């Protein structure tokens, strides 16, 4: 079988089985995605976060204003299009959409601080490579309405709790403060003045950033630029006293929670909305795309999006694809694909009809039942039962229908038992329970 259609570059299918993509990256099976998602949901519940789901389509202006006109995302990575009078964008991230929803639905009126989490696809027209996709998946949180350092520390604690629950260790948390936008503006001017005379020595990317977003030059991986930055003005020298107190409090709380971090004075992040605390979580197994997650405070975003009152806020987002790379590198335990509780093989037309009906009845009782839909031979059906790793199989033919009893076979031991039709459900449930608890079957 074949088709000339393929997934678009930078996107991928999630299948029942794991497979390796063209770039040699293992794509996790859907069971592993469910496992990660269920773990995220469990950690969120324990930390008292409730879910928010926003559309994948948003107005382009929301992203342009929210994420910032001068960012790479808005300059060159948006999947944006026009229909009629409306400009649409496939969301490149979920923070601006969450703040839009908070303002649109007056979520502040629910009272107190809003603690929201999300899971879902995002889109960025980046150059695809290992750990970098055009459609990727984020999970994250946003805490809206809290300016306390405890909100910053809780944000980081939730991220670490998810990683720990998934069995990831050996992670590096990098932490910084950007201070207030006013002080940062002063710093950007000083940085620009310092770098201007060296403009000709800068890489194309940094020269472009010098014009549009000089702060991002701090992110450079180019060695001679890093050297140049050693004598550049320091962001921390421009941060005011109040911001420093806040930053110290965040660090103290993290220490209190036994969360290790490393100060990263040049960590500025690629989105414009950040103020005060910023952080990234790195995993050594990831290679070039080492950022597993990133986040920070964004106290001015609500006003940028039109709010007449400030909404202090902080959050993070993690990339699911990168999380899988880290899980693979750590060889973390994950569940295999689901297996049926029982496979029912049918011999003959009457048996097929009985199996089809009885399967539905057993499924209604909560059992995971597999059967053949191709009218195959008994041998082929039993082979299929093996392939699907069903712990039990039944063969139904004319004799069984007449006796109104099935022969239930335990696949591993080969042991067989006669079970009357009307006792099938409790029998199977009892046996499966015994298996699940590891005890001997009753």
Q: How far is Cα 78 from Cα 101, in angstroms, rounded to an integer?
A: 20
Bridge partners of residue 296, in order along the sequence: 278, 315
Nearest to ligand HAM of 243, 283 (CB atom): 283
Nearest to ligand HAM of 95, 177 (CB atom): 95
Q: Which of residues 75-94 bind ligand HAM (CB under 6 A)?
A: 93
Binder of ligand HAM out of 100, 124, 184, 300 (CB under 6 A): 124
Interacting span for ligand HAM (CB under 6 A) from 104-112, 137-145, 224-232, 385-393? 137-145
Q: What is the closest distance, in whole angstroms, from the C-beta atom of residue 27 to ligand HAM in the complex?
A: 13
Nearest to ligand HAM of 324, 354 (CB atom): 324
Nearest to ligand HAM of 47, 376 (CB atom): 47
Q: How far is Cα 421 from Cα 362, in angstroms, rounded to an integer?
A: 11
Structure tokens at 17: 């089985």
**Cβ within 8 Å of residue 12, ≥6 positions away:** 21, 27, 133, 135
Q: How far is Cα 355 from Cα 378, in angstroms, rounded to an integer?
A: 13
Q: How far is Cα 240 from Cα 233, in angstroms, rounded to an integer?
A: 15
Sign, Cα dihedral of 11, 17, 18, 22: negative
Q: What is the closest distance, in whole angstroms, from the C-beta atom of residue 304 to ligand HAM in the complex?
A: 14
Nearest to ligand HAM of 131, 214 (CB atom): 131
Write the interaction track for ligand HAM spanning residues 138-157; mark x where CB under 6 A is met and - where it is not.
x-x-x---------------
Binder of ligand HAM out of 27, 291, 405, 411 (CB under 6 A): 291
Write the interaction track for ligand HAM spanning residues 306-345; mark x where CB under 6 A is met and - where it is not.
---------xxxxx-xx-----------------------
Cα–Cα distances (Å) from 309 to 106, 301, 303, 313, 433, in that order, read: 12, 11, 7, 13, 56
Q: What is the closest distance, in whole angstroms, from the C-beta atom of residue 281 to ligand HAM in the complex?
A: 8
Count of residues binding ligand HAM (CB under 6 A)?
A: 27
| First-last CA distance in the chain | 47
Would you count residue 220 as binding ligand HAM (CB under 6 A)?
A: no
Q: Which of 312, 320, 270 is nearest to 295 (CA)?
A: 270
CB 406 within 8 A of CB 396: yes
Nearest to ligand HAM of 79, 194 (CB atom): 79
Q: What is the closest distance, in whole angstroms, from the C-beta atom of residue 61 to ligand HAM in the complex?
A: 17
CB 61 within 8 A of CB 87: yes
CB 396 within 8 A of CB 345: yes
Structure tokens at 192: 């620009």
Query: How many angstroms from the chain centroid is the CA of residue 343?
Result: 34
Q: How far is Cα 435 from Cα 339, in angstroms, rounded to an integer?
A: 13
Q: What is the closest distance, in whole angstroms, from the C-beta atom of residue 358 to ligand HAM in the complex?
A: 46
Binder of ligand HAM out of 59, 120, 121, 270 (CB under 6 A): 270
Nearest to ligand HAM of 13, 193 (CB atom): 13
Interacting span for ligand HAM (CB under 6 A) from 29-37, 176-184, 234-242, 290-298? 290-298
Nearest to ligand HAM of 293, 394 (CB atom): 293
Nearest to ligand HAM of 254, 292 (CB atom): 292
Would you count residue 133 as binding ligand HAM (CB under 6 A)?
A: yes
Helices (H), 47-128: 60-67, 72-76, 95-104
Residues that bind ligand HAM (CB under 6 A): 93, 95, 124, 126, 131-133, 136, 138, 140, 142, 270-271, 291-296, 298, 315-319, 321-322
């Amino acid at each position: 079988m074949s088709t000339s259609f393929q997934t678009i570059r930078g996107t991928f299918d999630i299948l029942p089985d794991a497979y390796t993509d063209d770039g040699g990256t293992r794509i996790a099976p859907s069971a592993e995605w469910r496992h990660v998602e269920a773990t995220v949901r469990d950690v969120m519940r324990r930390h008292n976060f409730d879910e928010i789901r926003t559309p994948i389509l948003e107005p382009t202006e929301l992203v342009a204003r929210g994420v910032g006109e001068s960012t790479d995302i808005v300059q060159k990575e948006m999947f944006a299009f026009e229909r009629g009078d409306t400009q649409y964008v496939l969301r490149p991230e979920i923070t601006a959409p969450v703040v839009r929803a908070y303002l649109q639905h007056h979520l502040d009126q629910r009272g107190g601080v809003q603690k929201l989490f999300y899971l879902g696809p995002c889109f960025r027209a980046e150059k695809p490579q290992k750990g970098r996709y055009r459609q990727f998946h984020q999970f994250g949180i946003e805490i809206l309405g809290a300016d306390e350092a405890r909100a910053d520390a809780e944000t980081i604690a939730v991220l670490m709790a998810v990683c720990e629950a998934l069995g990831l260790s050996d992670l590096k948390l990098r932490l910084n403060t950007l201070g207030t936008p006013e002080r940062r503006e002063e710093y950007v001017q000083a940085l620009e003045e310092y770098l201007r005379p060296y403009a000709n020595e800068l890489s194309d990317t940094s020269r472009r950033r010098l014009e549009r977003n000089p702060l991002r030059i701090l992110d450079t991986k180019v060695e001679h630029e890093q050297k140049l930055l050693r004598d550049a003005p320091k962001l921390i020298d421009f941060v005011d006293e109040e911001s420093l107190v806040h930053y110290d409090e965040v660090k103290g709380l993290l220490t209190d929670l036994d969360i290790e971090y490393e100060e990263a004075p040049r960590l500025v992040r690629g989105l414009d909305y950040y103020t005060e605390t910023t952080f990234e979580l790195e995993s050594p197994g990831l290679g070039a795309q080492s950022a597993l997650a990133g986040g920070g405070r964004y106290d001015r975003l609500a006003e940028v999006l039109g709010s007449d009152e400030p909404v202090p806020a902080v959050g993070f987002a993690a990339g699911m694809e990168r999380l899988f790379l880290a899980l693979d590198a750590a060889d973390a335990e994950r569940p295999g694909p689901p297996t049926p509780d029982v496979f029912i093989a049918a011999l003959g037309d009457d048996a097929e009809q009985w199996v089809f009906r009885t399967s539905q009845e057993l499924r209604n009782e909560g059992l995971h039942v597999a059967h053949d839909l191709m009218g195959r031979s008994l041998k082929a059906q039993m082979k299929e039962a093996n392939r699907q790793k069903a712990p039990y199989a039944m063969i139904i033919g004319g004799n069984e229908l007449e006796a109104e009893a099935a022969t239930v076979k335990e696949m591993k031991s080969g042991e067989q038992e006669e079970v009357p039709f009307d006792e099938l459900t409790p029998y199977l449930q009892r046996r499966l329970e015994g298996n699940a608890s590891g005890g001997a079957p009753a």
